[in-house]
Amino acid sequence: MSRGRPRVLKQRHQLFAFLLTVSDAVVASAACFAAWGFRRHILAEGWPANWSSFLKGPLLLIIVPAVVLMFWASRLYQARRDQSILREGLVVIRASLLALGMAIVVLWASESQTLANARNAGADGLNPWVQSNRLQMGLLLLLLPLFLVAFRITFRVVLRMIRRRGLNLRHVIVIGTGRLGQIVFHTLERNSWTGIHVAGFISHHEQTRRTECLGRPVHGGISDLEKLIDEHNPDAVYLAIPNSAAATIPGILRRLEQFALDVRIVPDVHPRYLPQSMSVAELDGMPILSIRESPLYGLGGASKRALDVCGALFGLIVLSPVMLVIAMAIKLTSPGPIIFKQRRVGLNGETFKMYKFRSLLPKDRWPAEYQSGLTGWTERDDPRITTIGRLLRRTSLDELPQFLNVLKGQMSLVGPRPERADLIDEFRQNWRGYMLRQHVKAGMTGWAQINGLRGDTSLRKRLQYDLFYIRHWSIWFDIRILWITIFKGWMHPNAH
């Protein structure tokens, strides 16, 4: 049986990893040089007669090895054709910042030693070497991720151009000609930037009369697997076996063990149940596919909470004069409390009291037809809304007290809007997937709200937008939503 192509691929992967490592080291050095140059310009030191101070500088000697080490730990030197540019860019940024963190620890230790020596010698203040390195580190926080991400994007663009010319392709065979096999084919064709080319199919049936599937040859049935793999010598095999034939998968995997090729299994699960946040874990040798879990465990939850606390404190401090004016206006224009509290449902179905500036008249002043209770959303010309309340609702300023809910940990700055407790049972029974909203904290603003789905709007659409947010959550997604909210999300026709 032929083993040539896998051996060549391994050699190519090793060469690829080596060249990429060297390139990243050069780019990291360029970022260090840029920071060094900017620092000299800021301090008006001018350019030196020789560059030995840069070449022998501690930053270059610390940063470059740290970058390479963190990139290896982040698996950025593995050939990952199925990884998007965006995902790789985020990994590069994270690894770059971790490398800088390592460098800061080393420099802090060396600074401590330098200061100790200076004090022993009777010197006062910070050593200029310490000051200049701190300035360079500050510049590198911006320049290092910027340089490395720009290089990786350029590298990926060049790879795409090469692959469009038919070079640097990986030829694969799909085992399975049914619906799942055709989904695999269309997905790989749609993402041609990966350079993965479907060379043909093998039917998952013992024998087949089909000679073609979607314009690609069907080489034969599964009974001739070894012969067909040896004859066509693919780089990888994709198993697209339907659940009805899942019992044959272990046998197929055993037969493929004699070939030095990559094997990938595509589960027969509808794409709607496979979000981007899906992950694979292992427990005592048992693989576990995580289809649905809260995205806010571990570092993700900590980063979101940090953003919430900082953002809520900032909002309360900056907007406190506005909130004071609103409170005075409410008190002067209508009787009743300034703050309205309503029981809402949040994370894990737990209820809490949500705060809002009161925008309705006291209940004893409601028209007779409303005296039975609040059974629905307020209307555009609802007679219960006060004059100041109409303005508050239109501008969403009535939501500002919810910064307190955020600080108390009951809400987040961004998330699905909390629903009234008396409506949850109805929505849960009538709308499949509604309770998935309880996997995250309710938010002051959200993906649905900045897309115009506020108030008495389509519950189906709001649910779709909320689930999209949960499945695609990232700290950058939160920042994007906050940015849009600040500049255009406060006022909307449906906010009444």
> Residue ranges of the domains in the chain?
4-164, 170-268, 298-489
Among 124, 114, 133, 226, which Cα is nearest to 175's? 226
β-sheet bridge partners, residue 356: 340
Amino acid residing at 294:
S
For residues 19 and 12, is the Cβ–Cβ distance under 8 A? no
- Dist CA 306 CA 301 (whole Å): 9
For tokens 């090895």, name the residue: 65
- For the record, the structure tokens of 190 come out as 């749609």
Torsion sign across C-alpha atoms 430, 433, 439, 444: negative
- For the record, the structure tokens of 207 come out as 């024998």
The pLDDT tens digits along the chain (496 residues) read 444 455 555 667 788 889 999 999 999 999 988 887 787 776 665 555 455 555 556 667 888 999 999 999 888 888 777 777 888 888 999 999 988 888 877 777 766 555 555 555 554 544 444 455 667 778 888 999 999 999 999 998 898 889 888 888 889 999 999 999 999 999 999 888 888 999 999 998 877 778 899 999 999 999 999 999 999 999 899 999 999 898 999 999 999 988 888 899 998 876 555 555 566 766 666 777 666 666 676 677 888 999 999 999 999 999 999 999 999 999 888 888 999 998 998 888 889 999 999 988 877 677 766 666 555 556 666 777 788 888 888 888 999 999 999 999 999 999 999 888 777 777 777 777 677 788 789 999 999 888 887 766 677 888 888 888 888 888 889 999 999 988 775 655 555 5
* Dihedral pair phi/psi, residue 287, rounded to 5°: -70, 140
**Those residues with Cβ within 8 angstroms of residue 167's Cβ, 6 or more apart along the chain or in another chain:** none
For residues 153 and 193, is the Cβ–Cβ distance under 8 A? no
Which H/E stretch holds residue 15? helix 4-42
pTM for the whole structure: 0.54
Q: Tell me, what DSSP letter sits at residue 139? A: H
Q: Tell me, what DSSP letter sits at residue 218? A: B
- Dist CA 308 CA 444 (whole Å): 10
For tokens 């190519």, name the residue: 12
What is the number of residues in the chain? 496
- Dist CA 182 CA 173 (whole Å): 12
Q: How far is CA 481 from CA 342, 356, 402, 445, 487, in A?
A: 25, 21, 17, 8, 10
- Dist CA 310 CA 42 (whole Å): 31
- Dist CA 160 CA 168 (whole Å): 9
- Dist CA 170 CA 163 (whole Å): 10
Write the class of the CATH domain 170-268.
Answer: alpha beta
For residues 328 and 416, is the Cβ–Cβ distance under 8 A? no
Cα 473-427-384 angle, rounded to 5 deg: 100
- Dist CA 427 CA 442 (whole Å): 16
